[in-house]
Structure 1
């Protein structure tokens, strides 16, 4: 379940307090006081057999005595009573329950866990939703709902705050009270037995009173639900998260470099980035980030200009910017010349623009005007430190007035450099900061805080762009050799082996199109020498043993061997060392391969491991034997396309080296990115593979080749369900035949199809556009096309008819049908379009039949859509497919068509 019956929790018509009390200081007494004094406009019914009245209101001895069935019940009775209380409420018709009580398995207590499950079992048949247990409660100030034992009641605002920790709620309330910050919702989820982050994000994403969603997370329960909800919400409003436990140690050593390097917190970073969210480190940054995004929006780039009356604070801001990986913009000559005309000769003549300590307001305004007119910066940070010879308030008012003139003169706020301010100090600065707040200009206490806010804006923009950027096409069509891949892992599993041999690992990679070096297995030094003769010299040999994870630790790797004698000698020496160092190790033999010599090549690492929360996670970075020491890696969730793979590469330090320098040619970035996409495909398609490690992946201008590989297998996973993001559903690909006999490929849409979608839109007639979109349109925007092509296969599906022999992006799009399901799969809305020059060939019928089959298999309850009454061909097709038709209640020109499944 996701949003089903959440209205009963956040917008109830009636409330019961089971366990309400008159005992001073008790949770039941505080709950009752908060509920009765919150302004809720509906019946509030206390339940407690020991009291005749609570807060002056008649109390009821039992749930059965309640005169009205409550939509919401707040429960604070002892743990052992809660399952029966939930059962009584659910049977009575209550659809929302907040369980304040603790004692439901915290610390893995078996009795508590059993009680928790009993409460869930009591609620499930009636679809009653539970928040908690062990939570502080919920507050919806605009609705007059304070179903919590919080010590303060916040004012109404446009920010929703969701947390697992009740203590964090009270801390945030204290923090926000002094700053006058209001909330649309404050939700303490507690142990998340039922309602979790994914559910609440889904609900708040569609709440018109919520403009930003803030999260304090300790753990994510259902990763796929969370990712689907977060990706959908982040397209509509800022979603900003603080995740505790950033520096927690890894739970367990892994069998490969990849597994050892993929710490869980880095995985959360990757997940939040992929969802288009912004992660910050502290609660203060959380609210600073939402203030910045709400008042200024995001900058158009990464370049920051600094305007200051003090050189010292300008240097501090610059140091903070460089330390966070920011870009200090360079002032063009014409900007410097314009500043020369309004500033004293002693100004800094560069960025930061130091306008000297005696700067009056006019100097600030003149400088800001010139810098804002320049295209050199995407944001301007204005700094002020108090001096005895200049008025800080005068400077603040001048900045506010100049910003107003800029907005009036330029009109389009999005094209202006974003403005941030920092008036340093307390006594003098607090009045200026209040004025900036009144003028909707973000202001910060320190230069470092201002720079962090700017970098949060930059990161948020990058994450948002990643949600909507069109990836380039893959270089060529490719179908993995699934038979070979499955045979390799199943054979190893049948032999009760957890680790594939190096040659087997390379065969698996080759089956997915990853270039590998030829490798043979030799059982003895003599056989190794013979294999080297066949493969060629110089040669490399490595030990094969399932008991030794890192071969180099025991001298198990020998390189640049020039002849058979050297190979034989090296193999004998390895065998002796293993016998001395690991006498119980099973030495199965040696892998032999020719040395790969590529001038100017880099050693990289690529692979994946399985995270307990998010499933498979892809890793890329600088490789070699010192990979754990170097710790230069980035993580990403599969599936990957070429754009996501490229972004992953760019987040490493080795990225700059890979672009080439001096006489070293750039590495083949496309080949590296393509390798990452194919590793991600292994992660998605072969569920037995738990860890995969290519180290080194040799990269040069001539391409990439895997020199060494390690694969660990385990039990068969639950298919693609183990992935946090549902991958491309290849099984939906089908060859279809139009009425004129032409064969096409019917398949799900992919992000690379955006160019084809634009070309298909150009083939539509104005009449087709009006019938499909209910309004005239000259062209489809990138935003609209990206949202149609970059879909979440967990929530929606778009099937297209296209060429079978061309890669996405180059193939044409002849028709498309799209359905979008609600989070509970109760209903899905469809839309369909076929190119004008291909109508009357049965393509629309083919698309509708296949999408109906998909929806039925998926378990969607009903398909519905809106069709203009004059669109008789579509209405005829719907009638043929069994849709019922009804005139829309608000517009008689629209027919509502529905098909129960």
Structure 2
């Protein structure tokens, strides 16, 4: 590392195989054979896995843009390489073998930037507890829980697969075919047993069998023998001919319930394997849905497999491989949807008294009190719109009996602690008490139990609450992970969470789409959905909104390391927190805490949104760019004259590709900022200009660039954009900003000069404008 600092170089390794770049014949590895050139970048922490993949690829005729073995990652890590290969024109997909991730926040940022345009596919070693222990011993690193890694990869838009072979299967099909719109696969086979094993694998992987429409079944009745399965998988029987395959496929292509097709062929009966393969090639051209095949056998089907591969139709030795690849495709499509989910810092309809809540935290820190009291914790929840259960705290057995009679039996009783950290005392909850005598007796037992464990000063009294019935108990928690920052956990029912580990993980802040995805991930989701009958949508919305509100509470206060509002009682119409517990990090002094340093994904920075007036009096909205702005950004580009394009991009650009536009719109707000000027015209919104700030690797300087659409130039927008970039740069803690300007761009040079930039010529055609932010 001393050499790195002295010579400003990057280091890969140690404990690695090295680097290979086949296109330039660079082999800086211990491998004695150069890989074939290709479009796949393969990056592995394990040198032995890298070596075995190179050996396999040579036999399978698979090529690489690069192969990198990164070992212990003292310097260059996965995030650096994703950034590099994401921008590499020779790379079409990035495959990773991961044992641990050193800096999850940087990995998330890099992956989210490129996942929409280049598939990133991962094998993560250590899925089981034993595997995680082995990986940690091998790498001397802290290994996160498997389910946290899974949620992390999903949120990053990355596909996680089970085996190294799946990496290449998945990369192959994502390069060949459109992703499925849903998880519903139609299986068509002349081998009934293979259809059954494919179905088992499909369901186990999280996919589903397409439900054939009534019309499809009627048509198939006229094509297949009377004893056919009349359902999916479609067993077309051992005596199937090529013509029967054709008629069945053509019928299924018309069924809107089907999201993808798997044809399993066994070399039995009269159907010729090669002719059937040619038929599949012909038929698959008629529809824009995934088409996968599995030709069973070896010598008898070799020619058929070659025909399928030559025509960009993936084929697999086993149905299980084909099914797994289809499910991975669907998961990839689902994960890409998450890239476009950028929650705001706080929904408009929530207005917590943050100053009041911060004073509560400050008071607890000053008192060296790690845990908030129950009342303080309930105040946090209520400020974020989460209803809490109104409780009665009593000091005597007689008072307890009177309150129980007043609120109605049955009741629940528990100790009220001055410090909720003592809530873990065993048997501190008495349930379903139905008489005054039971209440008085239980009061004395609870107090006696508490006194045996706690000092009297920690016992405030006994809480009496009515019993709630006819609903569900939901588990909602947050905990700070040393690697992944603050996490949200959701489960349904204590037994489901504790006994069956039926819990979903999410990264705050959430919006309703992300919250619903968490709910859907639980095994108990289906029973919850069915419980509320015809009121499902409204019921789900209640749960989603509560998760969103809770996530923003966690987002707004980096001092909170743990928050638990379990159980949350929900009866389909009302959500009530029966308990509240908040734990603080006493080391995080509020004034010195980064606003979102505890989060792995920075929320959409609403605070940089403002309404301004152009010189003409027209109102605009200046705001950070969003992923869904891509169509509007394309329209803005269409307004640029050749001169404007030349001044902004230093070259003539004929069109903006989806790849380029997606990169402009999907940004990491921690390391760059793009502001867009939005204007309403003719009843629709338009983008009329944009300004970009990219933080340099040194973290102290940033490069800026600005462009305004031709119809809206000379109205003062360029000056406003520069002013706002200066403000944001200061907020980010930068010391200086700079921008290159063509010498002929006199308007931009004048704007920068008036803002205090130092202007100097780089060459005859280009100037450099630099602003010392300490003087701005």
Q: Under a length normalisation based on structure 2, what TM-score does the superposition of the two structures give?
A: 0.83
Corresponding residue number in structure 1 for 2:705:
830
2:433 and 2:758 map into 1 onto residues whose CA distance is 76
Corresponding residue number in structure 2 for 1:179:
60
Any conservation in 2 of the 1:470–1:754 contact (CA below 8 Å)?
Answer: no
- The alpha-carbon deviation at position 830 of structure 1 amounts to 3.1
Q: Please, which of 656, 665, 669 is the counterpart of residue 540 of structure 2?
A: 669
Q: Secondary structure at the match of 2:597?
A: helix
Q: Secondary structure at the match of 1:659?
A: helix
2:185 and 2:380 map into 1 onto residues whose CA distance is 47
Corresponding residue number in structure 2 for 1:793:
669
Corresponding residue number in structure 2 for 1:44:
none
Q: Please, which of 819, 826, 836 is the counterpart of residue 692 of structure 2?
A: 819
- The alpha-carbon deviation at position 276 of structure 1 amounts to 0.4
1:135 aligns with 2:16: yes
1:482-540 Cα shifts (integer Å, max 9, x gaps): 22322333333333333333322222222333221224555665676687799887654
- The alpha-carbon deviation at position 303 of structure 1 amounts to 1.8
1:321 and 1:185 map into 2 onto residues whose CA distance is 33
Corresponding residue number in structure 1 for 2:575:
704
- The alpha-carbon deviation at position 126 of structure 1 amounts to 3.1
Corresponding residue number in structure 2 for 1:89:
none
Distance of aligned partners of 1:506 and 1:814 in 2 relative to their CA distance in 1, 3 Å threshold = farther
1:741 and 1:205 map into 2 onto residues whose CA distance is 42
Q: Secondary structure at the match of 1:607?
A: strand
Q: Please, which of 263, 268, 272 is the counterpart of residue 149 of structure 2?
A: 268
1:378 and 1:250 map into 2 onto residues whose CA distance is 35
Corresponding residue number in structure 1 for 2:483:
613
1:468 aligns with 2:340: yes
Q: Please, which of 514, 517, 520 is the counterpart of residue 644 of structure 1?
A: 514
Q: Please, which of 589, 600, 623 is the counterpart of residue 724 of structure 1?
A: 600
1:27-78 Cα shifts (integer Å, max 9, x gaps): xxxxxxxxxxxxxxxxxxxxxxxxxxxxxxxxxxxxxxxxxxxxxxxxxxxx
- The alpha-carbon deviation at position 877 of structure 1 amounts to 3.8
Q: Secondary structure at the match of 2:567?
A: strand
1:58-105 Cα shifts (integer Å, max 9, x gaps): xxxxxxxxxxxxxxxxxxxxxxxxxxxxxxxxxxxxxxxxxxxxxxxx
- The alpha-carbon deviation at position 467 of structure 1 amounts to 1.3
2:382 and 2:719 map into 1 onto residues whose CA distance is 40
Corresponding residue number in structure 2 for 1:195:
76
Corresponding residue number in structure 1 for 2:561:
690
1:604 aligns with 2:478: no
Corresponding residue number in structure 2 for 1:105:
none
2:218 and 2:573 map into 1 onto residues whose CA distance is 47
Q: Secondary structure at the match of 2:565?
A: strand
Corresponding residue number in structure 2 for 1:383:
264
How many residue pairs get matched?
746
Q: Under a length normalisation based on structure 1, what TM-score does the superposition of the two structures give?
A: 0.73
1:459 aligns with 2:295: no
Q: Secondary structure at the match of 2:252?
A: helix
Any conservation in 2 of the 1:815–1:833 contact (CA below 8 Å)?
Answer: yes
Matches within 5 A, 1:331-350: 331-350=212-231
Q: Secondary structure at the match of 1:386?
A: coil
Q: Please, which of 398, 404, 411 is the counterpart of residue 279 of structure 2?
A: 398
1:534 and 1:454 map into 2 onto residues whose CA distance is 60
Q: Please, which of 268, 292, 311 is the counterpart of residue 420 of structure 1?
A: 292
Any conservation in 2 of the 1:357–1:390 contact (CA below 8 Å)?
Answer: no
Corresponding residue number in structure 2 for 1:445:
317
Matches within 5 A, 1:752-901: 791-799=667-675, 817-821=690-694, 824=697, 828-831=703-706, 844-858=718-732, 859=734, 862-864=737-739, 877-878=751-752, 880-881=754-755, 898-899=769-770
- The alpha-carbon deviation at position 732 of structure 1 amounts to 4.6
- The alpha-carbon deviation at position 448 of structure 1 amounts to 1.4
1:570 and 1:868 map into 2 onto residues whose CA distance is 85
Could you tell me which runs of 5 or more consecutive residues in structure 1 were left unpaired when the two chains were aligned: 1-119, 253-261, 804-809
1:501 and 1:613 map into 2 onto residues whose CA distance is 28
Distance of aligned partners of 1:398 and 1:550 in 2 relative to their CA distance in 1, 3 Å threshold = farther
- The alpha-carbon deviation at position 129 of structure 1 amounts to 0.8
Q: Please, which of 88, 96, 117 is the counterpart of residue 207 of structure 1?
A: 88
Distance of aligned partners of 1:482 and 1:372 in 2 relative to their CA distance in 1, 3 Å threshold = same
Distance of aligned partners of 1:761 and 1:595 in 2 relative to their CA distance in 1, 3 Å threshold = farther
Distance of aligned partners of 1:615 and 1:526 in 2 relative to their CA distance in 1, 3 Å threshold = farther
Corresponding residue number in structure 1 for 2:138:
none
Q: What CA RMSD, in Å, does the superposition of the two structures yield over aligned residues?
A: 4.4
Q: Please, which of 228, 240, 248 is the counterpart of residue 359 of structure 1?
A: 240
1:559-591 Cα shifts (integer Å, max 9, x gaps): 4557876544322111234456x5789852346
Any conservation in 2 of the 1:691–1:711 contact (CA below 8 Å)?
Answer: yes
Any conservation in 2 of the 1:156–1:184 contact (CA below 8 Å)?
Answer: yes
2:551 and 2:6 map into 1 onto residues whose CA distance is 39
1:849-891 Cα shifts (integer Å, max 9, x gaps): 021232355338644477997x98767545544568999999x
2:714 and 2:154 map into 1 onto residues whose CA distance is 44
Corresponding residue number in structure 2 for 1:713:
584
Corresponding residue number in structure 2 for 1:299:
180
Corresponding residue number in structure 2 for 1:629:
499
Any conservation in 2 of the 1:135–1:188 contact (CA below 8 Å)?
Answer: yes
Q: Secondary structure at the match of 2:129?
A: coil
Matches within 5 A, 1:16-165: 120-165=1-46
Q: Secondary structure at the match of 2:494?
A: coil
Distance of aligned partners of 1:471 and 1:637 in 2 relative to their CA distance in 1, 3 Å threshold = closer
Q: Secondary structure at the match of 2:232?
A: coil
Any conservation in 2 of the 1:396–1:436 contact (CA below 8 Å)?
Answer: yes
2:545 and 2:644 map into 1 onto residues whose CA distance is 37
Corresponding residue number in structure 1 for 2:115:
234
Q: Secondary structure at the match of 1:513?
A: coil
Any conservation in 2 of the 1:691–1:713 contact (CA below 8 Å)?
Answer: yes
Corresponding residue number in structure 2 for 1:487:
359
Corresponding residue number in structure 1 for 2:202:
321
Q: Secondary structure at the match of 2:179?
A: coil
Matches within 5 A, 1:536-615: 539-545=411-417, 554-559=426-431, 567-578=439-450, 582=453, 588-590=459-461, 592=463, 594-595=465-466, 597=468, 600-615=470-485
Any conservation in 1 of the 2:620–2:678 contact (CA below 8 Å)?
Answer: yes
Query: More deviation in 860-869 or 282-291?
Result: 860-869
Distance of aligned partners of 1:336 and 1:536 in 2 relative to their CA distance in 1, 3 Å threshold = closer
- The alpha-carbon deviation at position 343 of structure 1 amounts to 4.1
Q: Secondary structure at the match of 2:19?
A: strand
- The alpha-carbon deviation at position 653 of structure 1 amounts to 2.5
- The alpha-carbon deviation at position 557 of structure 1 amounts to 1.7
Q: Secondary structure at the match of 2:11?
A: strand
Corresponding residue number in structure 1 for 2:140:
none
1:261-288 Cα shifts (integer Å, max 9, x gaps): x972211111111110000111111121
1:154 and 1:606 map into 2 onto residues whose CA distance is 50
- The alpha-carbon deviation at position 674 of structure 1 amounts to 2.2
Corresponding residue number in structure 1 for 2:136:
none
1:177-206 Cα shifts (integer Å, max 9, x gaps): 221111111111111000001101100101
- The alpha-carbon deviation at position 613 of structure 1 amounts to 1.2
1:704-741 Cα shifts (integer Å, max 9, x gaps): 22111222222344522232212344665678787799
Any conservation in 1 of the 2:126–2:132 contact (CA below 8 Å)?
Answer: no
Distance of aligned partners of 1:833 and 1:601 in 2 relative to their CA distance in 1, 3 Å threshold = farther
Matches within 5 A, 1:235-254: 235-248=116-129
Distance of aligned partners of 1:229 and 1:770 in 2 relative to their CA distance in 1, 3 Å threshold = same
